[in-house]
Amino acid sequence: MGGGRSGRHAVVVGGSLAGLLAAHVLAGHAERVTVVERDRFPDGTKPRPGVPQGRHPHVLLEGGQVALESLLPGFLAELRVAGAPRVGLPSDMVQRQDGRWFRRLPATTHIYTGSRAQLEELVRRRVLANPVISAVEGTGVVGLLGDASRVRGVLLRDRSGDAREKQRALEADLVVDASGSGTKAPQWLAAIGAEAPHEETIDTGLAYASRVYRGRSGILDGDTVGYYVYPSPAEVHAGGALPLEDGTHLVIVSGLRGDEPPTDDDEFVTYTKRLPHPLLHRWLDDAEPLSSAFGYRRTANIRRRYDLPGRRPAGFLATGDALCTFNPIYGQGMAVAAMSAVALRDALADPRRTPTTRRVRRALLAASRQAWDISAGADRKMPGAVGTAVVGGPADRVADWYLRRVQERATGAPVVGRAFRSVVTLSAPVTALFAPPVARAVLFRPPAPTPTEPPTTPEDRGPE
């Protein structure tokens, strides 16, 4: 891919969070960066049509916070000023996993639970202020220029004009696909004689529905700002309520294939009775609905292996959901988008190695590997899961045995819970779960007692 910026032009397909952050990085290596976006960017913090899950809950995990602050210094302060709720875990929320309530010990990590639209608008404002970066809105990419050895640009079509309008070419030295989970890159590559990437898939058939409420009373007041039940093989119905920047809560419920949550408003409320405790349903009885219910069903984990050998052109990269799509229920997408941009930045700036296309592809995949292992590993155990990566090998079975013991103890044992949260929020590597104090608790101690009912107040007891 080479170094320097003289005369170089990079095109980023998609103005998503992943695309904007990739453009921000590439602006340090190219004379021009063009972001091609199918939608028109909204004014302010309205949901963008091209983000199909944009009306649903989003969280910014700690690993993503660190990455965003590294890319855009001062960003977290801007997010706080904008009112995005900063939620301490496990102290600030009532949470349940695998049939056990988490003890509400002092927070060892924090997440932001504001709307996706708010966070994306803040990033867009910062990124597009760079004069090196320009955006082409209301325009779709319909193909690639070049051949199987090298991509040399993209084919564009204005979406607001006549559908028969001729395509136009936009030449580039580098094309980054950040077009999301519905990417057409495999077809684009095949059209220029290259090979599509091998796809690894795991699909539980999980579907969810969301609706905005303003609470009047109940448990989501004071010391408790949210509630969440995670899906598990033992309790497949999940959901909760997460705070938004305007003081409302975004309520979500989920179920598996054949028992999908309804988008009828009355039936949405009734569906919450399927959760393993009536807490959420009781809260909704006294809450004011502020929106209709919206559904979402495309929740398969899909990893596209551009890093593997094959007839694939230089000058083409994929990032964000176009590279690795996770079941959104685990809240990893925004964090991985930011972490992937950091990986791109570091790979392009590495003084020890020439940033070849293949090396950068490997770096981008590595940035998403831990999130994939968490999401795919959890979904592999869910009833009815299908896909090319459902069946694991002997090493996976050993890891599953250990991780099952971790989860049983994370709800009640401070030392295990701290390590577990650091890993699932992508702020520490998986090896944190094998540190000696954690391993001793996992291997030789029984699960600690946990509350039998939803804990309504935080504990004062500090981490052990």
| pLDDT tens-digit map of 399-419 | 889 999 999 999 999 999 999
Q: Is pLDDT at 461 greater than 70 in this prediction?
A: no
Mean pLDDT within 423-444 = 98
CA distance 288 to 137: 37
Helix (H, G, I), strand (E, B) or coil at 247: coil
- pLDDT of amino acid 164: 55
206-296 matches 9-58+119-201+299-377 in CATH topology: no
pLDDT at 221 exceeding the cut of 90 = no
Of 18-22, 45-49, 362-366, 401-405, the poorest mean pLDDT is in 45-49
Q: Which pair of tokens denotes residue 28? A: 């340090």
| Average model confidence (pLDDT) across the chain | 93
Whether 217 shows a pLDDT value over 80: the answer reads no
pLDDT confidence bin for 463, thresholds 50/70/90: very low
β-sheet with 168-171: strand ranges across = 139-146, 151-158, 168-171
Ranges of beta strands (E only) in 244-390 are 249-255, 287-289, 294-296, 301-305, 316-318, 324-325
Alpha helices (runs of H) in 87-158, residue ranges in sequence order: 116-128
Question: What pLDDT is stored for residue 219 in this prediction?
Answer: 66
- pLDDT per position as a tens digit, 37-46: 999 998 877 7
Which class in CATH covers the domain with range 206-296? alpha beta
pLDDT greater than 90 at residue 324: yes
pLDDT tens digits for range 289-305: 999 999 999 899 999 99
- C-alpha–C-alpha distance, residues 253 and 47, integer Å: 20
Of the given ranges (86-90, 190-194, 219-223, 410-414), which has the lowest mean pLDDT? 219-223
Using the predicted structure, report yes or no on whether residue 96 has a pLDDT greater than 90: yes
- pLDDT, residue 464, reads 47
Cα distance between residue 137 and residue 171, in whole Å: 17
The pLDDT assigned to 233 comes to 94
Q: Which of the residue ranges 106-115, 136-145, 161-170, 418-427 would you say has the lowest mean pLDDT?
A: 161-170
pLDDT higher than threshold 80 for residue 12? yes
So what's the pLDDT on residue 5?
A: 56
| Tokens 């496990």, located at residue | 90
3-state class percentages of the chain: helix first, strand second, coil last, to nearest 5: 35, 25, 45
Task: HSE, CB side, 13 Å, CA atoms: give it for residue 295.
Answer: 14
Q: How confident is the model at residue 6 (pLDDT cuts 50, 70, 90)?
A: low
Least confident of 206-215, 396-405, 413-422, 423-432: 396-405
- Sketch the domain layout of the chain as residue ranges: 9-58+119-201+299-377, 206-296
pTM equals 0.94
Say which CATH class 9-58+119-201+299-377 falls into: alpha beta
Give the pLDDT mean for 426-435. Answer: 97
Asked if residue 161 has pLDDT above 80, the reply is no
Quick one: what percent of the chain has pLDDT higher than 70? 94
